Amino acid sequence: MTEQEANEYLKTHHDEIFIEQIHGKAVYAAVILHPNNPFKYAIEVGLLRKTDHTRLIEGFLKSRKIKYLKKILKNNLLIEKLKNIDINAIENSSLYSKKQNNFGLSNSELEELKLNNYSINEFKKDTLLNLGYSLEDSKIIKEKELNLKISGEIKLLCCGNTNNASYSSQKFLEGGISISSKKLSGLSGTLGAVFKMRNDKNKYIITNKHVLRGGICKNNKKNIVTHPSREDNSIIRDIGTIHWELENEEVDAAIVKLYEKQEIGNHTRCNNISFQLPIPAAIGMFVKKCGKSTGYTEGIVRSINSTLYIHEEDKYFKNQILTSCMASPGDSGSLLVSKSNHALGLIFAKNDNNTATFSNHFQKIFNQKVDETECLPKITFKEFITFKNI
């Protein structure tokens, strides 16, 4: 497949990948470079556990089989009978033989199958084409352009303590330190970056909405954000209030307006990251981040178009960046940057098997509708700031 074909396949086959019969078993699907051909693309499907390999394929086949039957037959009762036949248990005997008909089909139903040139033996052949797949789809799966991997569950990264050195209260605000909502307990995440908007003298920080969950930005005076979080340190201070927040199928982000007297440090507490202007992510990019829990880590972009299902939220996120695993609980809100420090995304989730981390596209965050009544004022991005360029 070309990249365009792979993107279209992911879009049009969403319901089959996350099929109803095994809902929640496929936890992500992503457009990746083909594992055996660097000039082609494939769809990688992450499964909850090993036993789901067979169930996913069965789900694909059952879904296609029903569509195929409905296409060639008009007798709904007959379709229901055929749908429930265990294809693998059928012997080589002809379905059309009245003497050997053990499937509960009437003579008229057998005749209908004959007239439509339908043979149950088609479902015994090792080819997806005969199970109702198009020639193109059959080729996609047979040429391993649909790859199955064991993933484990995907979870948000809004809590967790793995690196106590980053949890002390510090005078200067910078990326990679602990923050949370003052009025909530049990949640904690990462300050991604400090930045300025166009035509605005105020200073802002960015993180995930789920890190500050429960905030109501219509009442900013009560919607206070602290550094560090109460989960990380008993000594906290108020640093600002939620200005904007959004969670939809592409974005999990929040922007906090800092109080005037807050002092800014470096871009991050990790010495080898200094933010540059945003650029689009691309497959194969070397990436890095500075998070509250795991500090500085590195990875590789594997997909810039992935769909994931988070069971605890019963929610799908689409068009996300997929990287090798480079985050742990508490790193939600960390900025994903390129080797040259250009901002690419906002980290928010990872899988249990520690093979994948997921991020919003950074530029998508600043391209959302304006709705003052729903905590969505107009937001813009001008530049990242440090103590040097306030």
Say if residue 58 is in the same domain as residue 124: yes
Instruction: Please compute the mean of the pLDDT values over residues 138-159 and round it to a whole number.
Output: 75
Task: Convert the pLDDT of each residue in 144-154 to its tens digit.
Answer: 577 778 888 99
- Give residue 14's pLDDT: 87
Domain end among 98, 126, 150 = 150
- Give residue 239's pLDDT: 96
- Give residue 343's pLDDT: 97
Q: How far apart are CA 10 and CA 306, in angstroms?
A: 8
Angle between helices 107-115 and 76-83 (to 10 degrees): 90
Q: What is the mean pLDDT of the chain?
A: 80
- Give residue 65's pLDDT: 58
- Give residue 209's pLDDT: 93
Say if residue 18 is in the same domain as residue 131: yes
Domain end among 104, 132, 150 = 150
Task: Convert the pLDDT of each residue in 71-105 to its tens digit.
Answer: 656 667 666 666 665 544 433 344 445 444 555 66
CATH number, domain containing residue 325: 2.40.10.10
Residue 61 has pLDDT above 60, yes or no: no
Say if residue 168 is in the same domain as residue 44: no
Residue 175 has pLDDT above 60, yes or no: yes
Residue 270 has pLDDT above 90, yes or no: yes
Q: How far apart are CA 87 and CA 99, in angstroms?
A: 19
- Give residue 252's pLDDT: 96
Domain end among 150, 181, 213 = 150
Say if residue 301 is in the same domain as residue 336: yes
**Across the chain, how many H-helices and E-strands are there?**
7, 20
Q: pTM surpassing 0.85?
A: no
Structure tokens at 113: 């199958």
Question: If pLDDT is split at 50, 70 and 90, which confidence band does 317 have?
Answer: very high
| Ordered DSSP codes for 135-149 | HHHHHHHHTT-EEEE
Instruction: Please compute the mean of the pLDDT values over residues 307-319 and round it to a whole number.
Output: 93
Say if residue 206 is in the same domain as residue 108: no
203 or 161, greater pLDDT: 203
Say if residue 220 is in the same domain as residue 303: yes
Say if residue 249 is in the same domain as residue 207: yes
Structure tokens at 166: 């980053």
Question: If pLDDT is split at 50, 70 and 90, which confidence band does 25 have?
Answer: confident
Which of 101-115, 170-184, 288-302 is most confident?
288-302
Say if residue 199 is in the same domain as residue 265: yes
Say if residue 136 is in the same domain as residue 167: no
Residue 231 has pLDDT above 70, yes or no: yes
Question: If pLDDT is split at 50, 70 and 90, which confidence band does 327 have?
Answer: very high
Residue 308 has pLDDT above 50, yes or no: yes
- Give residue 298's pLDDT: 96
Q: How far apart are CA 56 and CA 115, in angstroms?
A: 33
Is the distance from CB of 229 to CB of 236 less than 8 angstroms? yes
- Give residue 218's pLDDT: 61
- Give residue 240's pLDDT: 94
Mention every residue, 6+ apart, whose C-beta is less than 8 A from residue 325. 299, 350, 351, 354, 355, 356, 357
150 or 184, greater pLDDT: 150
If one counts the domains in the chain, the total is: 2
131 or 46, greater pLDDT: 46
Residue 163 has pLDDT above 70, yes or no: no
Say if residue 133 is in the same domain as residue 182: no
Say if residue 80 is in the same domain as residue 195: no
Cα 186 versus chain centre, distance: 23
In terms of residue numbers, what domain contains 275? 154-390
Say if residue 235 is in the same domain as residue 358: yes
